[in-house]
Structure 1
Amino acid sequence: MISRISGLFAAIAFAAAMAVSPVQAQEAAASAAAPTEAVAPAAEAAPVAQAAAKPADNPYGLQAMLAHGDMVSKGVLALLLIMSMGSWYILITKLWDTQKLANEAKDVRATFFKKASLAEGVKSLKEASAFRYIAANAIEASEHHEGALTENIDHNTWVSTNIERSVAEVQSRVQTGLGFLATVGSTSPFIGLFGTVWGILQALTAIGVAGQASIDKVAGPVGEALIMTAIGLGVAVPAVLGYNWLVNRNKSVMGQVRAFAGDLHGVLMGNRQVAKR
């Protein structure tokens, strides 16, 4: 009896061992294959990541237009570039000039008419100052009113005329370059549009010769041509805004210059001692 029970337990243990061993074998095979399967996707993902990291070339951008454009397209682009550089140069230089003139006007209004004589006031101004130019011309006109023809003009009118002439010359220097800004602002959009029309014409001609009108054949040349219009607008907008801004600044600054000229005329007509040179 005991031997039968022992045999039964031995059979159960053997059956259990046979049932467990395939499962362990399968787990061991899966664990052995797992690194290989993990390495395979990693190896496949590496080229994909490298391809994603590498920037794709844009076949419809400015670089493609420069590479495939003809002399007319490149000439239009060069002209727009020159106009843009000229506009920014004028904007920066005129901003500097008007700011400098405004600072000088503030200093002149505070110190010039407090001097003992106009000659001392003139000497206190900078050599290249517009206010010194106006004051020197006004004093010279007041002191030198002789000649067969100029004697027919009264002293007040003679001095006023010379002061107004000096102010007009200063205003002319201040407004230098505004005509170029106005020209750029009004013509650059049409120059860009001409480049666009020319590019589309060349694209349609090439498509007609090739006999293919697929989207990839049309999108590239037309997209390159439309860049010209965008560049033309990019050149025109700063020029127009800068022109209007400088016109307003010039009005403000020239108002201070004319106020100084009016006060100077009043001093000269007040029979004050001008100076002893």
Structure 2
Amino acid sequence: MNLAQFFWQGDALARGVALLLLAMSVSSWVVILWKTWLLHRASRDVDRCIAAFWQAGNIDDARQTIKAFDREALVAPMVDAIKIETTPTLAGAGGLQTQLTRVLRNALHQALTKLQHGQVLLATVGATAPFVGLLGTVWGIYHALIGIATAGQVTIDKISGPVGESLIMTAAGLAVAIPAVLAYNVLGRSVARIEAELEGFARDLRELVGYTSTPL
């Protein structure tokens, strides 16, 4: 029996579980491929932007150079944020260090939101896919036992076939969950590394502007 026959032989719940696992698998692989490409590019851009900033002669030159490198807009907003303008609002209240801390924190949070996008989906798929597959397995075994009881005669071939087909759902759930969990851990390490680079750069910017005592 091939997978198509197995799918159409099941009832509405079995088909729903199979379609749900398929949707989870497709969505997780889309996120995996997209985030792998995104983080690889972002890692290179962040390193190039930070190096270009410290090699620039002044802040204006650094801004122009960074915008050419920063394709994901992770570093440029942080550099733009240090150009603080005095306003007659609570945003302009407090000293320079207070304002710098706030604007850099906001810019950093925006960058981290971009980097962490999709991680929740991978974590959700990795945590729930085995249980979704197990639901399909339990439901399939239940129907197999009902069929055996109705037949009134128990033989190995009547048990092994339906139970084996039901266990396919468990294997499918694991096949969906394992790549999602592995990708979550691997991509999470890449996100953490880039996050550490951005946090260190934000602290350096704050000290630089605070040292000059004037917004740049």
Task: Give the structure-2-normalised TM-score.
Answer: 0.91
Output the aligned Cα RMSD.
Answer: 1.9
Q: Which residue type is aligned with residue 194 of structure 1?
A: L
Query: Who is 2:112 aligned against?
Result: 171
Residue 186 of structure 2 corresponds to residue 242 of structure 1: no
1:134 partner amino acid: M
One-letter code of the match for 2:78? I
**3-state SS of 1:145 partner:** coil
Match of 2:138 in 1: 197
Partner of 1:138: 82
3-state DSSP of counterpart to 1:223: helix
CA distance in 1: counterparts of 2:93 and 2:32, whole angstroms: 45
Q: CA deviation at 1:110?
A: 2.2
Instruction: Please say if 1:261 is aligned against 2:202.
Output: yes
How far apart are the structure 1 equivalents of 2:119 and 2:133?
A: 21
Q: Which residue of structure 2 lines up, in the alignment, with residue 125 of structure 1? A: 66
Contact 1:62 1:227 in 2 (8 A): no
Residue 20 of structure 1: aligned partner: none
Question: In structure 1, what residue type is equivalent to 2:77?
Answer: Y
Matching residue's letter, 2:98 = T
Query: CA offsets, 1:75-108, max 9 Å, x none?
Result: 1011001101111111111112211111012212
Q: How does 1:107-126 map to 2 (within 5 A)?
A: 107-126=48-67
Aligned to 1:82: 23
| Residues 77 and 228 in structure 1, CA contact (< 8 A), matched pair in contact too | yes
Match of 2:44? 103
Gaps of 5+ in 1: 1-58
Q: State whether residues 64 and 224 of structure 1, in contact with CA within 8 Å, keep that contact through their aligned partners in structure 2.
A: no
Query: What secondary structure does 1:205 align onto?
Result: helix
- Report if the CA contact (8 A) 1:62-1:224 is conserved: no
Q: 1:250 to 1:259 in 2, by over 3 A?
A: same
Q: How far off its partner does 1:204 sit?
A: 1.2
C-alpha distance after superposition, 1:203-234 (max 9, x if no partner): 11122222232222222111110000000011
Alignment of 1:1-277 (within 5 A): 59=1, 61-126=2-67, 128-139=72-83, 141=84, 144-271=85-212
Q: How many residues align?
A: 213
Q: Which moved more, 1:163-172 or 1:255-264?
A: 255-264
Q: What is the distance in 1 between the residues matched to 2:181 and 2:28? A: 10
What is the identity, as a one-letter code, of the residue corresponding to 1:96? Answer: W
- Taking the aligned partners of 1:78 and 1:258, their CA distance within structure 2 comes to 42
DSSP 3-state at the match of 1:125: helix
Task: Note closer, same or farther for the CA distance 1:213–1:64 as it changes in structure 2 (3 Å cut).
Answer: farther
Q: In structure 1, what is the Cα distance between the partners aligned to 2:199 and 2:92? A: 26
Post-superposition Cα deviations, 1:233-260, rounded to whole Å, max 9, x if no partner, equal 1111111111111111111111111122
Structure-2 separation of matches of 1:166 and 1:271: 21
Structure whose CA Rg is larger:
1
| TM-aligned CA deviation for residue 272 of structure 1 | 7.9
Distance 1:175 1:128 in 2: 13
What is the CA–CA distance in structure 2 between the aligned matches of 1:137 and 1:148, rounded to whole Å? 17
Q: Is the 8 A contact 2:46 2:74 kept in 1?
A: no
Please say if residues 8 and 15 of structure 2, whose CA atoms lie closer than 8 Å, have aligned partners that are also in contact: no
